[in-house]
Structure 1
Amino acid sequence: MACRGGCCCGSSSPINEDNARFLLLALFIVLYLLCGAAVFSALEQPKEREAKERWAQRFEHFSQKYNLSKRDLRNFLRNYEEANVAGIRVDTIRPRWDFTGAFYFVGTVVSTIGEVHNRKTCAFLSHANLFRWRTLKCV
Protein backbone atom coordinates (compact mmCIF):
# COMPACT_ATOMS: atom_id res chain seq x y z
CA MET A 1 0.00 0.00 0.00
CA ALA A 2 2.09 2.84 -1.29
CA CYS A 3 1.49 6.44 -0.29
CA ARG A 4 -0.28 8.33 -3.05
CA GLY A 5 0.81 11.85 -3.98
CA GLY A 6 3.80 11.77 -1.66
CA CYS A 7 1.60 12.17 1.43
CA CYS A 8 1.09 9.42 3.95
CA CYS A 9 -1.14 11.46 6.20
CA GLY A 10 -3.84 8.82 6.47
CA SER A 11 -1.49 5.91 7.08
CA SER A 12 -2.43 5.75 10.74
CA SER A 13 -6.18 5.55 10.00
CA PRO A 14 -7.73 2.08 10.07
CA ILE A 15 -9.09 2.44 6.50
CA ASN A 16 -6.72 3.36 3.71
CA GLU A 17 -7.60 3.86 0.04
CA ASP A 18 -7.11 0.20 -0.96
CA ASN A 19 -9.28 -1.05 1.89
CA ALA A 20 -11.95 1.52 1.07
CA ARG A 21 -12.00 0.36 -2.57
CA PHE A 22 -12.29 -3.24 -1.45
CA LEU A 23 -15.16 -2.45 0.91
CA LEU A 24 -16.93 -0.41 -1.77
CA LEU A 25 -16.56 -3.26 -4.26
CA ALA A 26 -17.86 -5.74 -1.68
CA LEU A 27 -20.83 -3.45 -1.01
CA PHE A 28 -21.63 -3.20 -4.73
CA ILE A 29 -21.42 -6.98 -5.10
CA VAL A 30 -23.79 -7.52 -2.17
CA LEU A 31 -26.22 -4.92 -3.58
CA TYR A 32 -26.03 -6.57 -7.01
CA LEU A 33 -26.80 -9.97 -5.48
CA LEU A 34 -29.71 -8.54 -3.48
CA CYS A 35 -31.19 -6.93 -6.60
CA GLY A 36 -30.80 -10.18 -8.53
CA ALA A 37 -32.47 -12.13 -5.75
CA ALA A 38 -35.37 -9.65 -5.70
CA VAL A 39 -35.86 -9.95 -9.48
CA PHE A 40 -35.74 -13.76 -9.51
CA SER A 41 -38.01 -13.97 -6.50
CA ALA A 42 -40.56 -11.65 -8.12
CA LEU A 43 -40.47 -13.64 -11.37
CA GLU A 44 -40.45 -17.18 -10.01
CA GLN A 45 -42.48 -17.06 -6.79
CA PRO A 46 -45.94 -16.76 -8.44
CA LYS A 47 -45.17 -19.67 -10.79
CA GLU A 48 -43.96 -21.79 -7.90
CA ARG A 49 -47.14 -21.00 -5.96
CA GLU A 50 -49.31 -22.00 -8.95
CA ALA A 51 -47.38 -25.25 -9.42
CA LYS A 52 -47.78 -26.06 -5.72
CA GLU A 53 -51.54 -25.44 -5.91
CA ARG A 54 -51.83 -27.67 -9.02
CA TRP A 55 -49.89 -30.39 -7.21
CA ALA A 56 -52.15 -30.15 -4.16
CA GLN A 57 -55.22 -30.52 -6.40
CA ARG A 58 -53.74 -33.53 -8.21
CA PHE A 59 -52.74 -35.09 -4.91
CA GLU A 60 -56.25 -34.60 -3.49
CA HIS A 61 -57.90 -35.93 -6.67
CA PHE A 62 -55.65 -39.01 -6.81
CA SER A 63 -56.18 -39.72 -3.12
CA GLN A 64 -59.96 -39.58 -3.49
CA LYS A 65 -60.10 -41.44 -6.83
CA TYR A 66 -58.14 -44.45 -5.58
CA ASN A 67 -59.36 -44.27 -1.97
CA LEU A 68 -55.89 -43.86 -0.45
CA SER A 69 -55.15 -42.12 2.80
CA LYS A 70 -53.15 -38.94 2.31
CA ARG A 71 -50.59 -40.08 4.85
CA ASP A 72 -49.94 -43.38 3.05
CA LEU A 73 -49.75 -41.67 -0.33
CA ARG A 74 -47.36 -39.02 1.03
CA ASN A 75 -45.13 -41.76 2.53
CA PHE A 76 -45.14 -43.68 -0.75
CA LEU A 77 -44.16 -40.56 -2.70
CA ARG A 78 -41.41 -39.77 -0.21
CA ASN A 79 -40.01 -43.29 -0.65
CA TYR A 80 -40.20 -42.85 -4.43
CA GLU A 81 -38.26 -39.57 -4.22
CA GLU A 82 -35.56 -41.23 -2.10
CA ALA A 83 -35.25 -44.08 -4.60
CA ASN A 84 -35.08 -41.63 -7.49
CA VAL A 85 -32.31 -39.62 -5.80
CA ALA A 86 -30.42 -42.88 -5.20
CA GLY A 87 -30.53 -43.56 -8.95
CA ILE A 88 -33.21 -46.24 -9.00
CA ARG A 89 -35.34 -45.93 -12.11
CA VAL A 90 -38.93 -46.98 -12.56
CA ASP A 91 -38.42 -48.09 -16.15
CA THR A 92 -36.23 -51.14 -16.53
CA ILE A 93 -35.07 -50.41 -20.07
CA ARG A 94 -31.43 -50.40 -19.02
CA PRO A 95 -29.50 -49.72 -15.84
CA ARG A 96 -28.23 -46.20 -15.35
CA TRP A 97 -24.60 -47.20 -14.79
CA ASP A 98 -24.04 -49.65 -17.60
CA PHE A 99 -20.88 -49.18 -19.67
CA THR A 100 -22.51 -46.75 -22.12
CA GLY A 101 -23.85 -44.53 -19.33
CA ALA A 102 -20.52 -44.59 -17.49
CA PHE A 103 -18.66 -43.72 -20.71
CA TYR A 104 -20.99 -40.77 -21.32
CA PHE A 105 -20.47 -39.57 -17.72
CA VAL A 106 -16.68 -39.78 -17.97
CA GLY A 107 -16.74 -37.91 -21.30
CA THR A 108 -18.87 -35.16 -19.80
CA VAL A 109 -16.63 -34.80 -16.76
CA VAL A 110 -13.40 -34.73 -18.77
CA SER A 111 -14.76 -32.18 -21.24
CA THR A 112 -16.25 -29.79 -18.68
CA ILE A 113 -13.61 -29.62 -15.95
CA GLY A 114 -11.01 -26.91 -16.57
CA GLU A 115 -7.31 -27.51 -16.62
CA VAL A 116 -5.25 -27.55 -13.45
CA HIS A 117 -3.73 -24.16 -12.66
CA ASN A 118 -1.28 -25.53 -10.10
CA ARG A 119 1.19 -27.39 -12.29
CA LYS A 120 3.75 -28.32 -9.65
CA THR A 121 2.65 -31.91 -10.14
CA CYS A 122 0.74 -33.60 -12.91
CA ALA A 123 -2.79 -34.29 -11.77
CA PHE A 124 -5.09 -37.02 -12.97
CA LEU A 125 -7.58 -36.04 -10.29
CA SER A 126 -9.35 -32.81 -9.49
CA HIS A 127 -8.37 -31.03 -6.30
CA ALA A 128 -12.03 -30.62 -5.32
CA ASN A 129 -13.33 -34.11 -5.99
CA LEU A 130 -11.11 -37.19 -6.06
CA PHE A 131 -13.61 -39.15 -8.14
CA ARG A 132 -13.58 -36.83 -11.15
CA TRP A 133 -10.86 -37.76 -13.61
CA ARG A 134 -8.77 -35.02 -15.16
CA THR A 135 -6.98 -34.99 -18.43
CA LEU A 136 -3.22 -35.23 -18.10
CA LYS A 137 -1.76 -31.78 -18.77
CA CYS A 138 1.84 -31.40 -17.67
CA VAL A 139 4.01 -28.43 -18.47
Structure 2
Amino acid sequence: MSQFTAGSVRVSWSVLLVLGYLLYLLLGATIFQVLEKQAESQTRDRFQLEKLNFLKNYTCLDGPALEKFVEVILDAWEKGVNPSGNSTNPSNWDFSSSFFFAGTVITTIGYGNLSPSTVSGQVFCVFYAVFGIPLNLAFLNQLGKGLTAHLGRLERSVLTPGQHGQTLKMLTVSFFLILGTLLFLVFPPVVFSYVEGWTYGEGFYYAFITLSTIGFGDYVVGTDPEKHYISVYRSLAGVWIIFGLAWLAVLCNLGAGLMDRLLQLKQSWRDSCRAGPQEGSKEGDVLDQRAIQNPI
Protein backbone atom coordinates (compact mmCIF):
# COMPACT_ATOMS: atom_id res chain seq x y z
CA MET A 1 0.00 0.00 0.00
CA SER A 2 1.52 3.33 -1.06
CA GLN A 3 2.32 5.78 1.72
CA PHE A 4 3.92 9.16 2.15
CA THR A 5 5.55 10.85 5.10
CA ALA A 6 4.25 14.12 6.53
CA GLY A 7 6.81 15.17 9.07
CA SER A 8 7.27 12.14 11.29
CA VAL A 9 3.88 10.63 10.44
CA ARG A 10 3.36 8.07 7.70
CA VAL A 11 0.01 8.47 5.95
CA SER A 12 -1.63 5.99 3.59
CA TRP A 13 -2.83 7.33 0.25
CA SER A 14 -5.88 5.06 0.46
CA VAL A 15 -6.93 6.48 3.83
CA LEU A 16 -6.38 10.02 2.55
CA LEU A 17 -8.45 9.28 -0.55
CA VAL A 18 -11.34 7.88 1.50
CA LEU A 19 -11.31 10.87 3.84
CA GLY A 20 -11.12 13.28 0.91
CA TYR A 21 -14.03 11.50 -0.80
CA LEU A 22 -16.26 11.67 2.29
CA LEU A 23 -15.34 15.29 2.99
CA TYR A 24 -16.13 16.18 -0.63
CA LEU A 25 -19.59 14.61 -0.32
CA LEU A 26 -20.24 16.40 2.98
CA LEU A 27 -19.09 19.71 1.49
CA GLY A 28 -21.32 19.26 -1.56
CA ALA A 29 -24.33 18.31 0.55
CA THR A 30 -23.88 21.38 2.76
CA ILE A 31 -23.48 23.84 -0.12
CA PHE A 32 -26.38 22.38 -2.12
CA GLN A 33 -28.55 22.68 0.97
CA VAL A 34 -27.57 26.32 1.54
CA LEU A 35 -28.06 27.29 -2.11
CA GLU A 36 -31.28 25.43 -2.88
CA LYS A 37 -33.42 25.01 0.23
CA GLN A 38 -34.62 28.63 0.48
CA ALA A 39 -35.51 28.80 -3.23
CA GLU A 40 -37.43 25.55 -2.90
CA SER A 41 -39.34 26.92 0.09
CA GLN A 42 -40.33 30.04 -1.86
CA THR A 43 -41.51 27.93 -4.81
CA ARG A 44 -43.50 25.72 -2.47
CA ASP A 45 -45.22 28.69 -0.79
CA ARG A 46 -46.02 30.31 -4.15
CA PHE A 47 -47.51 27.06 -5.40
CA GLN A 48 -49.72 26.70 -2.32
CA LEU A 49 -50.91 30.31 -2.77
CA GLU A 50 -51.79 29.61 -6.39
CA LYS A 51 -53.80 26.59 -5.31
CA LEU A 52 -55.74 28.67 -2.80
CA ASN A 53 -56.40 31.43 -5.35
CA PHE A 54 -57.53 28.85 -7.85
CA LEU A 55 -60.05 27.33 -5.44
CA LYS A 56 -61.30 30.82 -4.42
CA ASN A 57 -61.57 32.47 -7.81
CA TYR A 58 -62.59 29.66 -10.14
CA THR A 59 -65.75 27.95 -9.05
CA CYS A 60 -66.33 26.71 -12.58
CA LEU A 61 -63.33 25.24 -14.35
CA ASP A 62 -62.64 26.56 -17.85
CA GLY A 63 -59.89 26.13 -20.43
CA PRO A 64 -57.64 29.14 -19.69
CA ALA A 65 -57.81 28.55 -15.93
CA LEU A 66 -56.84 24.94 -16.42
CA GLU A 67 -53.91 25.89 -18.67
CA LYS A 68 -52.65 28.41 -16.13
CA PHE A 69 -52.91 25.91 -13.30
CA VAL A 70 -51.12 23.26 -15.34
CA GLU A 71 -48.26 25.70 -15.99
CA VAL A 72 -47.95 26.34 -12.26
CA ILE A 73 -47.91 22.60 -11.58
CA LEU A 74 -45.26 21.94 -14.21
CA ASP A 75 -43.09 24.79 -12.91
CA ALA A 76 -43.30 23.43 -9.37
CA TRP A 77 -42.53 19.89 -10.54
CA GLU A 78 -39.51 20.98 -12.55
CA LYS A 79 -38.13 22.68 -9.43
CA GLY A 80 -38.54 19.55 -7.34
CA VAL A 81 -41.78 20.44 -5.52
CA ASN A 82 -44.38 17.68 -5.55
CA PRO A 83 -47.77 19.27 -6.41
CA SER A 84 -49.71 16.76 -4.32
CA GLY A 85 -50.03 17.11 -0.57
CA ASN A 86 -49.30 20.36 1.21
CA SER A 87 -46.44 22.60 2.27
CA THR A 88 -45.43 20.20 5.03
CA ASN A 89 -44.00 17.76 2.50
CA PRO A 90 -40.37 16.82 3.26
CA SER A 91 -37.81 19.16 1.72
CA ASN A 92 -35.79 17.98 -1.25
CA TRP A 93 -32.84 20.00 0.02
CA ASP A 94 -32.48 18.94 3.63
CA PHE A 95 -29.02 17.59 4.46
CA SER A 96 -29.86 13.94 3.86
CA SER A 97 -31.43 14.66 0.48
CA SER A 98 -28.61 17.04 -0.46
CA PHE A 99 -26.06 14.34 0.41
CA PHE A 100 -27.98 11.90 -1.79
CA PHE A 101 -28.08 14.43 -4.63
CA ALA A 102 -24.34 15.12 -4.32
CA GLY A 103 -23.73 11.39 -4.65
CA THR A 104 -25.87 11.13 -7.78
CA VAL A 105 -23.89 13.99 -9.34
CA ILE A 106 -20.37 12.62 -8.89
CA THR A 107 -21.41 9.04 -9.67
CA THR A 108 -23.03 10.35 -12.90
CA ILE A 109 -26.33 8.59 -12.12
CA GLY A 110 -28.31 11.81 -12.56
CA TYR A 111 -31.90 10.70 -11.96
CA GLY A 112 -33.28 13.94 -13.40
CA ASN A 113 -36.11 14.28 -10.89
CA LEU A 114 -34.25 17.04 -9.06
CA SER A 115 -31.80 19.70 -10.19
CA PRO A 116 -30.54 23.08 -8.96
CA SER A 117 -32.95 25.91 -9.76
CA THR A 118 -30.76 28.86 -8.76
CA VAL A 119 -27.97 30.22 -10.96
CA SER A 120 -25.51 29.92 -8.10
CA GLY A 121 -26.56 26.31 -7.51
CA GLN A 122 -26.22 25.46 -11.20
CA VAL A 123 -22.75 27.04 -11.44
CA PHE A 124 -21.59 25.23 -8.31
CA CYS A 125 -23.01 21.97 -9.65
CA VAL A 126 -20.89 22.30 -12.80
CA PHE A 127 -17.62 22.78 -10.90
CA TYR A 128 -18.62 20.21 -8.28
CA ALA A 129 -19.11 17.62 -11.03
CA VAL A 130 -15.90 18.60 -12.87
CA PHE A 131 -13.76 17.81 -9.84
CA GLY A 132 -16.04 15.24 -8.22
CA ILE A 133 -16.36 12.78 -11.11
CA PRO A 134 -12.59 12.13 -11.37
CA LEU A 135 -12.43 11.87 -7.56
CA ASN A 136 -15.26 9.35 -7.62
CA LEU A 137 -13.52 7.27 -10.31
CA ALA A 138 -10.27 7.30 -8.32
CA PHE A 139 -12.11 6.33 -5.14
CA LEU A 140 -14.00 3.47 -6.77
CA ASN A 141 -10.82 2.27 -8.47
CA GLN A 142 -8.93 2.25 -5.16
CA LEU A 143 -11.81 0.59 -3.34
CA GLY A 144 -12.11 -1.99 -6.10
CA LYS A 145 -8.37 -2.73 -5.91
CA GLY A 146 -8.65 -3.15 -2.14
CA LEU A 147 -11.52 -5.59 -2.46
CA THR A 148 -9.68 -7.45 -5.22
CA ALA A 149 -6.57 -7.70 -3.01
CA HIS A 150 -8.63 -9.10 -0.13
CA LEU A 151 -10.22 -11.56 -2.52
CA GLY A 152 -6.75 -12.59 -3.72
CA ARG A 153 -5.56 -13.15 -0.15
CA LEU A 154 -8.67 -15.20 0.53
CA GLU A 155 -7.93 -17.29 -2.55
CA ARG A 156 -4.32 -17.87 -1.49
CA SER A 157 -5.36 -18.84 2.02
CA VAL A 158 -7.55 -21.65 0.71
CA LEU A 159 -5.44 -22.53 -2.33
CA THR A 160 -3.97 -26.02 -2.43
CA PRO A 161 -1.98 -27.67 -5.22
CA GLY A 162 -3.68 -29.63 -7.93
CA GLN A 163 -7.26 -29.87 -9.05
CA HIS A 164 -8.64 -29.21 -5.56
CA GLY A 165 -6.87 -25.85 -5.48
CA GLN A 166 -8.53 -24.72 -8.70
CA THR A 167 -11.90 -25.90 -7.40
CA LEU A 168 -11.48 -23.97 -4.16
CA LYS A 169 -10.44 -20.88 -6.10
CA MET A 170 -13.57 -21.07 -8.24
CA LEU A 171 -15.69 -21.57 -5.13
CA THR A 172 -14.09 -18.51 -3.49
CA VAL A 173 -14.81 -16.28 -6.49
CA SER A 174 -18.33 -17.69 -6.76
CA PHE A 175 -18.92 -16.96 -3.07
CA PHE A 176 -17.81 -13.35 -3.61
CA LEU A 177 -20.10 -12.95 -6.60
CA ILE A 178 -23.09 -14.51 -4.83
CA LEU A 179 -22.55 -12.48 -1.65
CA GLY A 180 -22.26 -9.22 -3.59
CA THR A 181 -25.35 -10.04 -5.62
CA LEU A 182 -27.32 -10.69 -2.45
CA LEU A 183 -26.08 -7.53 -0.70
CA PHE A 184 -26.48 -5.12 -3.59
CA LEU A 185 -29.12 -6.52 -5.95
CA VAL A 186 -31.31 -9.05 -4.11
CA PHE A 187 -31.71 -7.76 -0.55
CA PRO A 188 -32.05 -3.96 -1.20
CA PRO A 189 -35.25 -4.36 -3.30
CA VAL A 190 -36.84 -6.04 -0.26
CA VAL A 191 -36.13 -2.91 1.79
CA PHE A 192 -37.32 -0.62 -1.00
CA SER A 193 -40.52 -2.64 -1.38
CA TYR A 194 -41.23 -2.31 2.34
CA VAL A 195 -40.38 1.39 2.67
CA GLU A 196 -41.54 2.73 -0.70
CA GLY A 197 -44.50 0.42 -1.30
CA TRP A 198 -43.05 -0.86 -4.58
CA THR A 199 -43.28 -4.39 -5.84
CA TYR A 200 -40.12 -6.47 -5.59
CA GLY A 201 -39.74 -6.27 -9.37
CA GLU A 202 -39.88 -2.47 -9.26
CA GLY A 203 -37.33 -2.42 -6.44
CA PHE A 204 -35.00 -4.74 -8.34
CA TYR A 205 -35.42 -2.60 -11.45
CA TYR A 206 -34.54 0.52 -9.48
CA ALA A 207 -31.47 -1.17 -7.95
CA PHE A 208 -30.13 -2.25 -11.33
CA ILE A 209 -30.86 1.05 -13.09
CA THR A 210 -29.14 2.89 -10.24
CA LEU A 211 -26.01 0.75 -9.91
CA SER A 212 -25.57 0.65 -13.67
CA THR A 213 -25.62 4.51 -13.51
CA ILE A 214 -28.36 4.62 -16.15
CA GLY A 215 -30.57 6.58 -13.74
CA PHE A 216 -33.83 7.07 -15.61
CA GLY A 217 -35.43 8.81 -12.61
CA ASP A 218 -38.78 7.06 -12.93
CA TYR A 219 -38.16 5.45 -9.53
CA VAL A 220 -36.24 7.35 -6.83
CA VAL A 221 -36.13 6.53 -3.13
CA GLY A 222 -37.44 8.96 -0.55
CA THR A 223 -39.65 11.07 -2.83
CA ASP A 224 -43.20 10.01 -1.88
CA PRO A 225 -44.85 12.97 -0.07
CA GLU A 226 -47.34 10.69 1.65
CA LYS A 227 -44.63 8.69 3.43
CA HIS A 228 -42.59 9.68 6.47
CA TYR A 229 -38.98 8.61 6.03
CA ILE A 230 -36.29 8.49 8.67
CA SER A 231 -33.82 11.35 8.31
CA VAL A 232 -30.87 9.16 7.26
CA TYR A 233 -32.82 7.02 4.79
CA ARG A 234 -31.54 8.69 1.62
CA SER A 235 -28.03 8.96 3.03
CA LEU A 236 -28.02 5.20 3.65
CA ALA A 237 -29.23 4.73 0.08
CA GLY A 238 -26.28 6.84 -1.06
CA VAL A 239 -23.85 4.62 0.88
CA TRP A 240 -25.44 1.54 -0.73
CA ILE A 241 -24.91 3.10 -4.16
CA ILE A 242 -21.22 3.84 -3.49
CA PHE A 243 -20.37 0.34 -2.28
CA GLY A 244 -22.52 -1.21 -4.98
CA LEU A 245 -20.54 0.66 -7.62
CA ALA A 246 -17.30 -0.52 -5.96
CA TRP A 247 -18.55 -4.11 -6.13
CA LEU A 248 -19.30 -3.65 -9.82
CA ALA A 249 -15.79 -2.25 -10.26
CA VAL A 250 -14.38 -5.47 -8.77
CA LEU A 251 -16.53 -7.50 -11.14
CA CYS A 252 -15.16 -5.46 -14.03
CA ASN A 253 -11.59 -6.10 -12.81
CA LEU A 254 -12.28 -9.82 -12.54
CA GLY A 255 -13.87 -9.82 -15.98
CA ALA A 256 -10.94 -7.91 -17.44
CA GLY A 257 -8.51 -10.36 -15.84
CA LEU A 258 -10.44 -13.29 -17.24
CA MET A 259 -10.43 -11.76 -20.71
CA ASP A 260 -6.66 -11.17 -20.48
CA ARG A 261 -6.11 -14.81 -19.57
CA LEU A 262 -8.29 -15.98 -22.42
CA LEU A 263 -6.43 -13.73 -24.86
CA GLN A 264 -3.09 -15.01 -23.58
CA LEU A 265 -4.20 -18.61 -23.99
CA LYS A 266 -5.47 -17.84 -27.48
CA GLN A 267 -2.16 -16.17 -28.41
CA SER A 268 -0.16 -19.07 -26.98
CA TRP A 269 -2.27 -21.51 -29.00
CA ARG A 270 -1.69 -19.46 -32.15
CA ASP A 271 2.06 -19.32 -31.50
CA SER A 272 2.22 -23.07 -31.00
CA CYS A 273 0.25 -23.66 -34.19
CA ARG A 274 2.60 -21.39 -36.14
CA ALA A 275 5.69 -22.99 -34.62
CA GLY A 276 4.59 -26.52 -35.60
CA PRO A 277 4.47 -26.08 -39.39
CA GLN A 278 7.64 -23.94 -39.35
CA GLU A 279 9.61 -26.68 -37.58
CA GLY A 280 8.16 -29.24 -39.97
CA SER A 281 9.12 -27.15 -42.99
CA LYS A 282 12.69 -26.79 -41.70
CA GLU A 283 12.97 -30.53 -41.30
CA GLY A 284 11.58 -30.96 -44.80
CA ASP A 285 14.16 -28.53 -46.21
CA VAL A 286 16.98 -30.50 -44.57
CA LEU A 287 15.68 -33.75 -46.07
CA ASP A 288 15.41 -32.10 -49.47
CA GLN A 289 19.03 -30.90 -49.26
CA ARG A 290 20.20 -34.39 -48.31
CA ALA A 291 18.26 -35.82 -51.21
CA ILE A 292 19.91 -33.39 -53.61
CA GLN A 293 23.39 -34.10 -52.25
CA ASN A 294 22.90 -37.88 -52.21
CA PRO A 295 20.66 -38.75 -55.09
CA ILE A 296 19.70 -42.39 -55.51
- Report the TM-score when normalising by structure 1: 0.36
Which structure's CA Rg is the greater one?
2
Q: Which has the higher contact order (CA 8 A, sep 6+)?
A: 2
By percentage of residues, which structure has more helix? 2
